[in-house]
Amino acid sequence: MNDGRSLILNRIREALRDNPAPHPHTSHSQAEAETHTGGHPQRDWLPKVGETLSEQIDLFSTISAGLKTEVHRVANLAAARERFLALSKENGWKKIGSHQHTDVDFLLTGCTLPIVRTDLGYTISDLESCDVGLTACEVLVAQTGGILVSVESSGGRALSVLPPHHVVIARTSQMVPDLTASFQHVKNKYGNNFPSFMSFITGPSRTGDIERILVLGAHGPKRLSVLLVDQE
């Protein structure tokens, strides 16, 4: 059995031990019958987004909690660094994966652990052995609790996927109300030169394919934390 398949199966076994109860399931037809009141049916499924930044942050935090994303709102980068170092100590991290970014570099100031920087060259096995991947992001999406990452903003394709804990550093100014606004951000920032990789992350990796039992971390990080900084 190859190493990749063994890793996935081991994560499923671990998650089944931690999450023995099946999660609730509502069919598409049931949900549409209960919530569709006219207009575009997909929009009826999504929560309404407030106009103010405060309302959008509250909505993002609420939806993130339901997705099992841990949101740590802090006043400034110094407080974010303290929280990151506290998470490191609490979880017994031994190696960190990261990339070059102003806020990411600030969080790692004073950190004595080995660091694998994906933009300076690395091996898959070295990155896979990291306990956490620390990245920046493009935007946070209030309406879905999603985090938009790209190859440009998040240290390549693998950093947000391989380590079992993904930590995202973001500013409140990166909050956008919905998916339409997130795509507009990308268009404004990159024009026609889109990044080769973009992805929306909505909570830690999960699957319910096996007997409708929710499994976290089957094919990606088991934990997702957002350090949300109020400071511009």
Given this model, what pLDDT does residue 24 score? 45
Given this model, what pLDDT does residue 175 score? 97
pLDDT tens, position by position, 50-61: 999 999 999 999
pLDDT tens, position by position, 132-154: 999 999 999 999 999 999 999 99
- The domains of the chain are located at 3-229
Strand partners, 165: 132, 223
CA atoms of 186 and 183, how far apart (whole Å): 5
- Compute the half-sphere exposure of residue 219: CA atoms within 13 Å on the CB side of its CA: 7
The whole-model pTM stands at 0.78
Domain at 3-229, CATH homologous superfamily: NagB/RpiA/CoA transferase-like (3.40.50.10420)
Given this model, what pLDDT does residue 216 score? 61
Is the CB of residue 172 less than 8 Å from the CB of residue 230?
yes
Given this model, what pLDDT does residue 75 score? 96
pLDDT tens, position by position, 163-219: 999 999 999 999 999 999 999 999 999 999 999 999 999 988 766 666 666 666 566
